Every structure is written in C-alpha cells, then in structure tokens.
Chains A and B, each alone.
Chain A
C-alpha cells in the first residue's frame, strides 16, 4: 500500500471520534496541539480541552487529578518531554496510584528529523516499560493507532502511546485487530523472525519481501503492545524460526529488543540481533537520511537476518 499517514495524524482523528462517543474523555496539551494533532479535539470540544502551557509536569499532575475525579484524560506532548520532563510525575501521580491517564506522546524517535537530538525521544519506551502498572503501546500505522487509542480509552489504568511525526505507510485495513497484550504475526516464514514495532514494521515487511526473492522466508511479528508483552507468541515464533531480529526506532537498551531478549533468554534462548539506536542520540537531519545513517533500514534488517541465520 503506497498511501501514507503519520501516526500522530491518526491520533488526532481518533481522538475527535472518541470524544464524540465518550464525554468523559478530556485532552491536555502543553502548547503543542498543532503538532500533536490534539488541536482538532480542542476545536470540537473546547470545554474538554485544556492547554496547560509549556509546563509538562503540571500537565501530567493535572491529568492525574482529572482521572482521580472520574475523567479519562489524554495528555499529549512530544515523547521526550512527556516521559523525560514529567517522568517522576508519571511515576508518583499516575503509575503508582494506577490512575486512568493516557499519555499520548508524539514526535518519538529520530524521525522527528531537523529539530535534532533534544527533541528526539529514543529512550521513552525503556523508561515507561520500567514502571509498574504502565501499559506501553507503539502502533505501526494509522489504523493501528486508531485502534490503540480506542483500546487505551477502554483499558482502566495508565497507558503510554508512542507516536511519530513522519508519514509512514498504511499497513492495516479496518479488519485488522489490535489488542493490548497481543502481538500480530503479519507475515509467516520459518527461516527467521523479525519482531518489530512502530515505523520499523513497514521496513521489516520490505525486508521480508526482499529476502523472499532470494529464497529466505521470514516471519514478521508486530509487537505494538510492548507491555504487556505477548510472551507466548514471541516464544512460539522464536521456537519455530530459530533466529530472531528485533527492529525499533529506539535505543536497543530497554525497549522492544530488550523486552524480547528478556523473554527469550529466560524461556527459549535463541540467536538474536537487535536493530535500533546503538546507545546513541540522534541529530538534526532529514528523517529518511537519519534512518539511513543510524541503520534503521530495510537493508540493515536484511543483513541482520542473514547474519543471525548463520548462528542457527
């Protein structure tokens, strides 16, 4: 499918639809509503939108209070500020009391592009995954984002949703089913498995197609629900394929790659390689050029698959 949409755009649209269905939904933003795409919700439901100004800690704390009084707040800003600037507010005012707040963060990863490393969250999944009570979702495309937003609203408890700025291919049709805690096998093969999420799912599928033309058939598993993690599917696919690659637009420390390594290390040791940022920050540049520079490409996945298959 050639059509593209940024997950943040899908978020903005989903929020408007959700807001019509459920009047308990409220939205907070920290002066970035045009970028996070909460501006449409603000236009449609001005009474239920709170611009908190450039004050992320207070935004998160206010969301906690709204949730304590029965609302379902979606708090949005860039991922680096949501999870970094307001980390301890998320920890003590949301995760520990298990309040029903959805932290919907956009501009995750190096595909933020030109703004550079200060604005590119590369560690947010690791940070959020470490928190008890937190659900962590990294949707791959517009449709999955829409479903993740709805699932988050339905789930009672804290949820972190990670979204991007860049337009990415639409991968899934309306009949696709996203579920919290479930991985989706989007392509099947027995030679190796690529476990990916976010923008790396489309790259994994491209890599799988290229490998197929040279006779290597790989499974592609989309793990949008990083926490809770679908351990059963990951163990089963690893057992069937005997070699695993993970691919994420995030540091390889603490994110999807680590989560998969933890599960396989304890349950089914399997030759494995992780694709992601190799313990480095990003930099300014065009998003696609940065993906090339930092090795988040189809070609790198193909190379990693061939390398890990050698170790079977």
Chain B
C-alpha cells in the first residue's frame, strides 16, 4: 500500500469506528480514533500477517494493551478480511462475536485478550521471548495508552523487555494526553515519558502519531535497532478526525448519537476527498 492508500485506510477505519459505536450505544471513540493511523500503518504496511490463516505461526503479533480502543482493531481486522464487516455492527451486543474489549478466543486476528490496563506489554514480552526461543523472526507490536502509564505492571514489563534485550518488540505509545478523569497531567503525571523509557533501557523515538510517513520511518528504524526494545512515543489527538470529539475528554467512553455520527462521517468523507 502507498502512503496515500494507508491514509485512506485510516480514514475508512475512523468511519467504521463511528459507525460501529452507534448501534453499540457504548464504547470508546476518542482513544480508538487517536490510534487509527498507527493501527493502519501496522496492519496495512508493516506487519506480516495472513488474514486467511490467523494462527499462522510466522505472523507478526499485535497486542492492543489499551484494550478499550477495540473498535480501531476490529475495524482494521475487518478491512483486512479476518471476518465479515457485518460483524462490526454487532459490537458489544449479546451473543455476538465482538466483545467490548479484545477476546482472542473468539475473534480471528486478535492475538491477545486485553482490556484490563497495564497487562499488554507483559504478554507482548512473552510472545517476543517465545519468538527468540523458536528462532523465528516474527515481530511483536504493542500499542499502549498514556493513561496506562500509571499502572506499575507497565514498568515491570518495561524493565524486563530491556533485561531480555527484546529487539523483536516494538511498543507504540498512543500519547493523546487525555484519560477518563481529565488530562493525564492532571490525573497522574507521567512526564517525562521519553526520559523514563530511555532510563528503562529502551530505544525511544518521538513521532507524530498521525503522520503516516513518519510512523513508517520510525517503525522501520525500530526494526533495525539491535539489543534493545524500541518504543515510539506517538503524539496523537484524542478523537482525531471528528471536530467535536478532538481533545474532548468527554468522548473517552461515550457513543455518538445517530445525528452526531452523521456529522462525523460527513467530516471524515470530506477529509478523504482531500487526501487525493
């Protein structure tokens, strides 16, 4: 896929997110929209996967540690062909496949069950360790949230990834600056994040999380780093792409109404038209 095509895909993913949250009547649009470019770059350019064989042993792995952003992952998986797109409209509904948070047992393409914050990096570490043991060259990608930085387990795992020199692991921090109760700075300061990750032994790259070219460049650099794991601290806008959701803490965990969704889709279609 070309960079422009990935941008279009991120736009489609954003539209899917909005559309699936309407019938669900609940869910997390803000943090799903902020991660759309990151997830699009991974699934449509970087990651080596086979949608027709979700358990392919050689595949790159993806762990969505900020599991509440499940809609962004589901949209990418559906667009990639892991399951019919119709499944998206059954999100969070009784008896349907797509759970409120990712469930590896029931959703093709989901490599790890997540949702309880702070746990994804540990699981990603385990997958990376297994890859090394098996002399496989697959890579493991994990997307973390910035609110999640307050979880102690993240730092246990950060320490362990550097200790075990997991250079087959890339973390991407969706640094949107907001969490449920307000800004991350007001709720629990985690600054300075680049320095913290460096001090924990990681190769740190700071990047605009909505700049596909920059993301691809950083992800390529991460692959070349040897002897330590890499984290992309990706500056993002929560609710990115929908004017009334951008940087609004209230859109962390609320579904749009039909009217709001229509407006959001109009804006996203407009954006798509300008992408060329």
Interface residues of A (CB under 8 A from B): 26, 47-48, 50, 52-53, 55, 57-58, 60-71, 73, 88-89, 92-93, 96-98
B125, CB-defined interface residue at 8 Å: yes
Asked whether, in the complex, the Cβ of B123 is within 8 Å of the Cβ of A62, the reply is yes
B116, CB-defined interface residue at 8 Å: yes
Query: Min CB distance, B22 to chain A, in Å?
Result: 28
Contact of B131 among A55, A57, A69, A97 (CB under 8 A): A69
**Complex alpha-carbon distance, A60 and B124, angstroms:** 12
Asked whether, in the complex, the Cβ of B104 is within 8 Å of the Cβ of A97, the reply is yes
Stretch at the interface among B71-79, B157-165, B174-182, B191-199: B157-165
Asked whether, in the complex, the Cβ of A69 is within 8 Å of the Cβ of B160, the reply is no
What are 29 A-B interface contacts by the 8 Å CB criterion? A26-B130, A47-B133, A52-B156, A55-B159, A57-B122, A57-B153, A61-B123, A61-B125, A62-B126, A62-B129, A64-B122, A65-B129, A66-B130, A68-B104, A68-B111, A68-B126, A69-B61, A69-B126, A70-B134, A71-B130, A73-B126, A89-B122, A92-B114, A92-B115, A92-B116, A93-B119, A96-B113, A97-B103, A98-B105
Asked whether, in the complex, the Cβ of A70 is within 8 Å of the Cβ of B126, the reply is no
B127, CB-defined interface residue at 8 Å: yes
Asked whether, in the complex, the Cβ of A65 is within 8 Å of the Cβ of B130, the reply is yes
Given the known interface contacts A68-B112, A97-B103, A98-B105, the answer about A55 and B127 at a Cβ–Cβ threshold of 8 Å is no
Asked whether, in the complex, the Cβ of B57 is within 8 Å of the Cβ of A70, the reply is yes
Nearest B residue (CB) for A98: B105
Query: Min CB distance, B161 to chain A, in Å?
Result: 10
B54, CB-defined interface residue at 8 Å: no
Nearest B residue (CB) for A67: B126
Q: How many B residues, CB 8 Å from partner?
A: 35
Q: How many A-B contacts are there with CB distance less than 8 Å?
A: 109
Asked whether, in the complex, the Cβ of B126 is within 8 Å of the Cβ of A61, the reply is yes
B250, CB-defined interface residue at 8 Å: no
B214, CB-defined interface residue at 8 Å: no
- Most chain A beta-carbon neighbours within 10 Å: one of B104, B115, B133: B133
Nearest B residue (CB) for A93: B119
Nearest A residue (CB) for B101: A92
Residues of B within 8 A of A88 (CB): 116
B103-153 contacts to A (CB < 8 Å): 103-105, 111-116, 118-119, 121-131, 133-134, 152-153
Asked whether, in the complex, the Cβ of A92 is within 8 Å of the Cβ of B113, the reply is yes
Nearest A residue (CB) for B125: A62
Residues of A within 8 A of B119 (CB): 57, 61, 89, 92-93
Residues of A within 8 A of B103 (CB): 96-97
Given the known interface contacts A55-B159, A92-B119, A97-B103, the answer about A66 and B57 at a Cβ–Cβ threshold of 8 Å is no
Nearest A residue (CB) for B115: A92
Nearest B residue (CB) for A28: B126
Residues of A within 8 A of B114 (CB): 92
**Complex alpha-carbon distance, A258 and B191, angstroms:** 49
Asked whether, in the complex, the Cβ of A69 is within 8 Å of the Cβ of B104, the reply is no
Asked whether, in the complex, the Cβ of A64 is within 8 Å of the Cβ of B123, the reply is yes
**Complex alpha-carbon distance, A32 and B250, angstroms:** 45
Asked whether, in the complex, the Cβ of A62 is within 8 Å of the Cβ of B111, the reply is no
